[in-house]
Amino acid sequence: MSSPSDVEPHFPASADGSKPDVKGLPFNMKIWILGQQAYKRYETQGDIKVLEFAIRSLRLAMEATEDDNPEKVTIIANLGVSLSTRFKRVGELRDLEESIYLKQLANALTPYDSPDKHSRLTNLAVSLLSRFEEAIELDTRAVELVPDCHVHKSALLNNLGISLRTQFELSGSTDDLEKAIELQTHAVELMPEDSSVKPMGLINLGNSHLRRFGRLGNLEDLELPSRIKTRFKRIGDLADLERAIMLLARSIELTSDDHPEKPLSLNNLSNSLRDRYEQTGDAKNLEDAIAHQFRAVELTPDGHPEKHIYLNNLGTQLGTRFKQFGNLDDLDWAIIHFTHAVALTPEEHHEKPSWLYNLSSSLLDRFKQVGDVLDLEEAIRCSVRSVELTPENHAQRTRNLRSLGIRFLTRLRSQHAHTDDASRAMEAFLEAMQHPTSHPLERLQVSSQYAELLTEFSHLFTTPPQLSLLEAWKYTISLVPQCIWLGNNVRGRYTSKELREVAYNVGNAVTAAISAGEHGLAIEWLETGRAVVWSQILQLRTPLDDLHRLHPQLAEHLRHVSHALELAASGSPLVSVESQLPSSSHDIQIQSSHGYALEYDKLISTIRGLEEFKDFLQPKTLSQLARACVSGPVVVINVHESRCDALILCRAGDVVHVPLPELSLSRAMAVQKYLWDLLRAKHFLNRCRSNLQDEDDGRGGRVTAMDPPDMMRKILADLWNWVVKPIMDIVCTLEPPSTTLPHVTWCPTGPLVFLPLHAAGIYPKNERTATTSQTIMDLAISSYTPTLEALLRPRAQVIPAGQDPRVLVVSQPASPLAINNPIPGTTTEAAIVMSLVGESKPLDDADGTVQAVLEGMTTHEWVHLACHGIQNRMDPTNSAFILHDGRLTLAELISHHFPNADLAVLSACQTATGDERLSEEAVHLAAGMLNIGYKSVIGTMWSISDYVAPEVMRVFYTVMAEQVKAGGQLQPAYALHEATKALCNSSGRGGMNDFLRWVPFVHFGL
């Protein structure tokens, strides 16, 4: 093309056949306009021929325009953008290089104060994404040049955020990712609700949050894309994921196969279908996801810059189907596609280590299935190369090193072992453990695998390893607080994979310490790894008297940040904190829970740097933990697949080891299942405070050939023989002779958490021969504690000697929220309580609102809750007391302080049941009340009878009233012991063999 007459016939017409009117304009202007129009047409149609025409036109316009023409810089910029677009379409590196050159030229020719300067900088940054530091610097300058009111400010912020996020993926620096999220959040806030670019801004922000979820495991980040989809319903007419999938599928149907964005759309639809598969488990979603991903691969030429990503995703989806259904063909094809992805990816590409990692993992899976040593050798080769290509400071280096160590360990365990496999696995694990930028959970996993290596193959090391077995486990334990991050809310911490991983590895570490005879160390480690979330909550409430006396400003700052984290943890808005904090730019920077968590970590580090506070909030030593034995010995029971042991902690700090050879993890799990099957069959786990007038009405049926009393008798006998009797044989020799029974506090682990150790014994069928019985109740008073720390917290004497406690008595005989399950006995129960205690305040029926109960708890020492209780297994923090106008949840209780708390009586159902998935976390209402400040808590292990509860409370409060009158230390555990004994000895329904009625009542605390 050399003249307008050459140009115009070649310009593609619009849909109605019209062409732009360029008559009368200079040749260079005509060809420039034609080029611009062609590029806009390409953006709507995706026809590569139109893009080619645009580039030819713009190149000719640039060559035909004099250097002193002010429009030349714009023509140069337009040509640079068009070449960049063609690079994205066909992957020709020459286009990218020329695009960068032209954009740099356009930027150099644009004055700094020009209104187009920011667009020149931004366009150049887009092409410089492979040179991140330069791109980010340019984007930053562009952002600084433009005020918030500028129409392009949101786009500039979004682009800078993308650059920072990409730099994070290369460097692993979370600072880059946090800054990216901050900028993209600002970008979205600046976009009008009806803006056509707002959906894309939300998607970019969601992707950054997903990256942070992958790095930190924060469930709030994972939930954000769901909230973004909700925003889409309002601004993009996408009702939900189903609607999104339907529209994506429809748009793909309407897009020609040669459209540049079709493979990307297919990839996105595939990812959405995979998300739906993960949510629903419907295999058809996975099948469709694979089909669309395969089509994306088919439509993308090998030279395209995204091809390797689509191949890797296809391999991942096929690998998922293999793991679900076990079809080796899927695994074979996954390996083929991973191999192709690796081959297409340049050595210097930042994703190549990840593709090699994926290929290595699939090869290892096939080796385990088929046993072909060539697969194992190739898996090792890929892992070695993955590590070699991963920068030293990259966050994924730990993952890749761990993968390499596992490959060597796998070969070491096989018949194909090499002589240096043990040393090479150790080297990989050690380097991975010491990597500073990786996620703490990854380092914890690596350290546990290092310990496995030493446990199995210590005989292969001729010289002592750099870290001994116990040193490795000590390192593992040190990572526990970092794995469960304070930046997450309580629900997020309880539902995180990290919590289950921590529990498993802590159990291994404790068992290793016991096997090595380090019993005190075992108790310290178990304490660090149990009830981690509760420990964090307690840590935030640590009194700061000494710190405040010596460093008042530091103490006040820590108090503010701790309180903010408590509110964030419970889900309360942080705005309530802002009103208490000084208004400053520093406060604004830490408004999010992540910001507060980071600030908290910095403060703790600063305080520990002070000589007199070097042990501030550090894990307790054995001598400190021994102070938990104020009421008597504490019995810690470790249940592990390899061995079971009890550790009796005494007042003097001595630890007595009691092996439990008759107990095993499988036995404990079987007894737990046996008990819960019985409770479900008799409706004691799925209904609350029911009258259960006739237990022989057949509604529960029979779960075995035995009657319920016989089943319970066997359960309690097994617990006696396997666990309690061996321990009590030793306890009775440790406690000095006395006329009163010793007080034993149980701190079990694993399945024993859900079993009634306090009722273990040999119970005769005929109560008349009860003198032949052997039970824990004859030997000791029992209490429970989730942790030793819960018994150590300073508790002021809140009730003056000789003064009656103030008692808040809450009863809900017919809450509107449980209209089909009235519990009229709560009215009788409340009357009994108020007749036996001094100063009391009733909140009956409609008076018992959530707000009234919370207010009453702040001013009363004792609280009695006679109502329905609910254990929420899907979200433990939503376990709740059912009041008149709503649920008083565990999450709500955590967010409040009760300065006068002393005794809580939870005469409701399942208040001490817990969650079997989180056995080490004590996620139940009784533990919640203990950990928010109550000294003693009475709870129930399963549903209680509406007519039995008043009788138990009559005896309990009678004994408590006698103790108050006598003065001195109150003993609620003794009062409950007497109440259950009275129920056992009664001739009515509450006799000894009516185990399901009297066994559920338990005491927690002092």
The residue among 588, 616, 644 that closes a domain is: 616
Quickly state the pLDDT bin for 218 (edges 50, 70, 90): very low
- Within a 10 A sphere around the Cβ of 501, how many other Cβ atoms? 16
> Helix or strand or coil: residue 775?
strand
Considering only residues 973 and 794, tell me which one the structure prediction assigns the higher pLDDT.
Answer: 973
What pLDDT is attached to residue 583? 32
Give the range among 316-320, 778-782, 793-797, 885-889 with minimum mean pLDDT: 793-797
Closest C-alpha among 475, 428, 421 to residue 448: 475
* Pairwise CA distance, residues 935 & 916, whole Å: 25
pLDDT at 498 over 70: no
Closest C-alpha among 660, 659, 654 to residue 520: 654
* Pairwise CA distance, residues 979 & 982, whole Å: 5
Q: Torsion angle of alpha carbons 685, 689, 694, 700, nearest 10°?
A: -10
Asked if residue 891 is part of any domain, the answer here is: yes
pTM (whole model) above 0.75 = no
pLDDT at 496 over 90: no
Q: For the stretch 789-798, what's the b/e string if a residue is b when 16 or more beta carbons lie within 10 angstroms of its beta carbon?
A: bbbbeeeeeb
What pLDDT is attached to residue 3? 47
Asked if residue 928 is part of any domain, the answer here is: yes
Considering only residues 440 and 443, tell me which one the structure prediction assigns the higher pLDDT.
Answer: 443
What pLDDT is attached to residue 262? 83
What pLDDT is attached to residue 772? 60
**Number of Cα atoms under 13 Å in the Cβ half of residue 364:** 21
**Integer CA distances (angstroms), 368 to 171, 372, 543, 968, in order:** 33, 8, 54, 66
Give residue-wise pLDDT tens across range 858-869: 999 999 999 888
> Helix or strand or coil: residue 906?
strand
Domain count, the chain: 2
Cβ atoms of 103 and 77 within 8 Å: the answer is yes
What pLDDT is attached to residue 441? 77
pLDDT at 820 over 80: no
Amino acid present at 814: A
pLDDT at 238 over 60: no
Cβ atoms of 136 and 164 within 8 Å: the answer is yes
pLDDT at 587 over 50: no
Q: What are phi and psi of 709, to 5 degrees?
A: -60, -40
The domain of 572 spans 543-616
Burial label, 67 (beta-carbon count in 10 A; 0-12, 13-18, 19+): exposed
Closest C-alpha among 532, 445, 526 to residue 485: 532
Amino acid present at 526: L
Cβ atoms of 367 and 331 within 8 Å: the answer is no
**Integer CA distances (angstroms), 649 to 623, 625, 718, 748, in order:** 10, 9, 24, 13
Q: Which stretch, 6-10, 746-750, 835-839, has highest mean pLDDT?
A: 746-750
Asked if residue 611 is part of any domain, the answer here is: yes
Considering only residues 558 and 209, tell me which one the structure prediction assigns the higher pLDDT.
Answer: 558
* Structure tokens belonging to residue 218: 């924060």
- Within a 10 A sphere around the Cβ of 220, how many other Cβ atoms? 20
* Structure tokens belonging to residue 835: 């007749």
What pLDDT is attached to residue 195? 65
Considering only residues 622 and 165, tell me which one the structure prediction assigns the higher pLDDT.
Answer: 622
Quickly state the pLDDT bin for 231 (edges 50, 70, 90): very low
* Structure tokens belonging to residue 683: 């409706």
* Pairwise CA distance, residues 112 & 145, whole Å: 9
The per-residue DSSP string of 605-634 comes to HHHHTSGGGTTTTPPPPHHHHGGGGGSS-E
The residue among 616, 632, 648 that closes a domain is: 616
**Angle at Cα 859 formed by Cα 853 and Cα 865, nearest 5°?**
35
Asked if residue 715 is part of any domain, the answer here is: no
* Structure tokens belonging to residue 150: 């500028």
What pLDDT is attached to residue 542? 62
Asked if residue 359 is part of any domain, the answer here is: no
What pLDDT is attached to residue 40? 85
The per-residue DSSP string of 300-368 comes to S-TTSTTHHHHHHHHHHHHHHHHHHH--HHHHHHHHHHHHHHHHHS-TT-TTHHHHHHHHHHHHHHHHH
Q: Strands, E, within 749-789: which ranges?
A: 761-762, 774-775, 781-784
The H or E element that residue 1004 is part of is strand 1001-1005
Q: For the stretch 844-876, what's the b/e string if a residue is b when 16 or more beta carbons lie within 10 angstroms of its beta carbon?
A: bbeebbbebbbebbeebbbbbbbbbbbbeeebb
Distance of CA 268 to the CA centre of its chain: 26
Quickly state the pLDDT bin for 86 (edges 50, 70, 90): confident
Residues 6+ apart with CB under 8 A from 817: 868, 882, 883, 884, 886, 887
**Angle at Cα 402 formed by Cα 400 and Cα 404, nearest 5°?**
70
Give residue-wise pLDDT tens across range 686-742: 434 444 444 333 222 323 345 567 889 999 999 999 999 999 999 988 877 677 899
Mean pLDDT along residues 943-952: 85
Quick one: what percent of the chain has pLDDT higher than 70? 74
> Helix or strand or coil: residue 428?
helix
Asked if residue 605 is part of any domain, the answer here is: yes
* Pairwise CA distance, residues 246 & 238, whole Å: 9
* Structure tokens belonging to residue 355: 């593709």
What pLDDT is attached to residue 248? 63
Give residue-wise pLDDT tens across range 308-340: 999 999 999 999 999 999 999 999 999 999 999
Sign of the dihedral through C-alpha 586, 587, 591, 593 = positive
Q: Which stretch, 63-67, 278-282, 478-482, 934-938, has highest mean pLDDT?
A: 934-938
What pLDDT is attached to residue 536? 60
Cβ atoms of 998 and 940 within 8 Å: the answer is no
> Residue ranges of the alpha helices (H) in 530-660?
532-540, 545-550, 552-570, 575-578, 585-589, 593-608, 622-625
Q: What are phi and psi of 883, to 5 degrees?
A: -105, -170
What pLDDT is attached to residue 832? 92
What pLDDT is attached to residue 697? 31
The H or E element that residue 101 is part of is helix 93-109
Cβ atoms of 49 and 221 within 8 Å: the answer is no
What pLDDT is attached to residue 359? 96
What pLDDT is attached to residue 199? 55
What pLDDT is attached to residue 4? 43
Considering only residues 717 and 894, tell me which one the structure prediction assigns the higher pLDDT.
Answer: 717
What pLDDT is attached to residue 207? 62
Q: Length of the chain in residues, anyone?
A: 1006
* Pairwise CA distance, residues 868 & 688, whole Å: 6
What pLDDT is attached to residue 917? 57
User: Across the strands, what pairs with 747?
Assistant: 636
Mean pLDDT along residues 568-588: 35
pLDDT at 578 over 70: no
Quickly state the pLDDT bin for 988 (edges 50, 70, 90): low
Quick one: what percent of the chain has pLDDT higher than 90? 30
What pLDDT is attached to residue 705? 40
Closest C-alpha among 951, 941, 958, 957 to residue 999: 941
Asked if residue 994 is part of any domain, the answer here is: yes
Q: Work out the mean pLDDT of the chain and round it to a whole number.
A: 79
pLDDT at 263 over 80: yes
What pLDDT is attached to residue 127? 60
* Structure tokens belonging to residue 625: 């933990």
Asked if residue 341 is part of any domain, the answer here is: no
CATH of the domain at 889: 3.40.50.1460
For the chain, count helices (H), then strands (E): 43, 16
Give the range among 302-306, 383-387, 590-594, 762-766 with minimum mean pLDDT: 590-594
**Angle at Cα 268 formed by Cα 263 and Cα 270, nearest 5°?**
95
Instruction: Specify the residue for token string 């892992």.
Output: 383
**Angle at Cα 118 formed by Cα 113 and Cα 119, nearest 5°?**
130
What pLDDT is attached to residue 699? 25
pLDDT at 237 over 60: no
Quickly state the pLDDT bin for 954 (edges 50, 70, 90): very high
Mean pLDDT along residues 80-88: 83
What pLDDT is attached to residue 347? 84
* Structure tokens belonging to residue 400: 């890749």
What pLDDT is attached to residue 768? 59
What pLDDT is attached to residue 538? 58
The residue among 568, 589, 616 that closes a domain is: 616
Q: Which stretch, 69-78, 369-378, 956-965, has highest mean pLDDT?
A: 369-378
